[in-house]
Amino acid sequence: MISVQQRLALGFALLGSALVLPVVAAAQPPAFLIQWGTPGSGNGEFNGAFGVATDLIGDVYVTDPNNNRVQKFTDQGAYLIQWGTPGSGNGQFNGAYGVATDAAGNVYIADPNNSRIQKFTGAGTYLTQWGSPGTGQGQFAGPFAVATNAAGDVYVTDNRNHRIQKFSGDGTYLTQWGSFGSGDGQFNAPVGVATDAAGDVYVADGNNHRIQKFSGSGTYITQWGSLGSGDGQFGTPYGVATDLAGDVYISDISSNRIQKFTGTGAYLTQWGSFGVGEGQFSSPYCLGTDAHGNVYVADYSNSRVQKFGPLPTSTRATSWGQLKSLYR
């Protein structure tokens, strides 16, 4: 997911969030643009693409947990580099899950089975790590996802401890919130997390089938969602990402779709169904956005990344076949 620092550094202004419209106009889903990845362990292949995030220049980082590595690509899917091997040493992984970047180009990886977060440069050089198994401050029981804010702070979903923990960029513990339950501010296995330009935090509360929104310090603001397959409902909400307009994208792995909402939870649009075709998914765990309005989806069981977004201005009048040829 694109970090808030990236939005600020690129000079985009926050759209006003104080106005809540009684009726939200229907939105068109983004167009399928390109995809990359096939099953395997070679360069550009995946054994289950899981987490995805972009950096300031638009490069894309994808976690490949069953290959215990991170791969980096251009925004057109060209392979650049990779790092990681199985293990518990510095720069090794026991299942690399969530990924986030900051304005300095650093990359944070949730390494859940090692109960830690690891921090790297954008070139994959190991910088630091924090975390250990447990329930105390700075300890984890399944750190599944990670997000950053404008100050360089890091939010981690601590899945089996049913809480969110907040750290500085060097891993210093700052605060936490959450407990097991279904009330406001409680969680039943939180998974995805994202921030917006105002510093608010969105959490996919997986087994409660909802999204909860908090201030950057953990104050409960609002929530939306319920169990189901209708508009605004979720089977298993997992990935969360925000865009420059303050809208929120949620991946629903049970329904194999992406839903888009305003920052206050009003339903806007959706796309996706089960399958292997363009715009179809098989367990889309995580997703990320970039500064150009594109959405990248880690299509886990199809071992690929799909990119969606506005059609380029120069190609809007072309046929679908012509358009696809421009991206191949």
Concatenate the DSSP letters of all residues of 218-258 into one string: --EEEEE--BSSSTT-BSSEEEEEE-TTS-EEEEETTTTEE
Lowest mean pLDDT among 9-13, 246-250, 287-291: 9-13
Query: Per-residue pLDDT tens for 23-67?
Result: 456 689 999 999 999 999 999 999 999 999 999 999 999 999 999
Tell me how far CA of residue 42 lies from CA of 54, 78, 272, in angstroms.
21, 13, 28
When comparing pLDDT for 1 and 237, which is higher? Answer: 237
What pLDDT does residue 324 have? 39
State the CATH architecture for 4-13+31-326. 6 Propeller (2.120)
When comparing pLDDT for 19 and 30, which is higher? Answer: 30
Q: What is the mean pLDDT of residues 181-196?
A: 98
Prediction pTM value? 0.88
Query: Per-residue pLDDT tens for 66-75?
Result: 999 999 999 9
Query: Per-residue pLDDT tens for 272-288?
Result: 999 999 999 999 999 99
Query: Per-residue pLDDT tens for 109-164?
Result: 999 999 999 999 999 999 999 999 999 999 999 999 999 999 999 999 999 999 99
Query: Per-residue pLDDT tens for 258-269?
Result: 999 999 999 999
Q: Predicted confidence band at 15 (pLDDT cuts at 50, 70, 90)?
A: very low
Q: Predicted confidence band at 314 (pLDDT cuts at 50, 70, 90)?
A: low
What's CA 250's distance to the chain center, in Å?
Answer: 9
Task: Name the strand (E) or helix (H) holding 323.
Answer: helix 320-326
Contact 232, 225 (CB under 8 A): yes
Q: Predicted confidence band at 313 (pLDDT cuts at 50, 70, 90)?
A: low
What pLDDT does residue 142 have? 96
Residues 6 or more apart whose CB falls under 8 angstroms from that of 25 comprise none
Q: What is the mean pLDDT of residues 174-194?
A: 98
Q: What is the mean pLDDT of residues 287-308?
A: 97
Per the prediction, the chain carries an average pLDDT of 90
Q: How far apart, in whole angstroms, are the C-alpha atoms of residue 166 and residue 173?
A: 6
Residue % of the chain over a pLDDT of 90: 86
DSSP state of 113: G
Q: Predicted confidence band at 183 (pLDDT cuts at 50, 70, 90)?
A: very high
What pLDDT does residue 262 have? 98
What pLDDT does residue 27 have? 84
- Among 124, 121, 155, 153, which residue's Cα sits nearest to residue 5? 153
What's CA 305's distance to the chain center, in Å?
Answer: 13
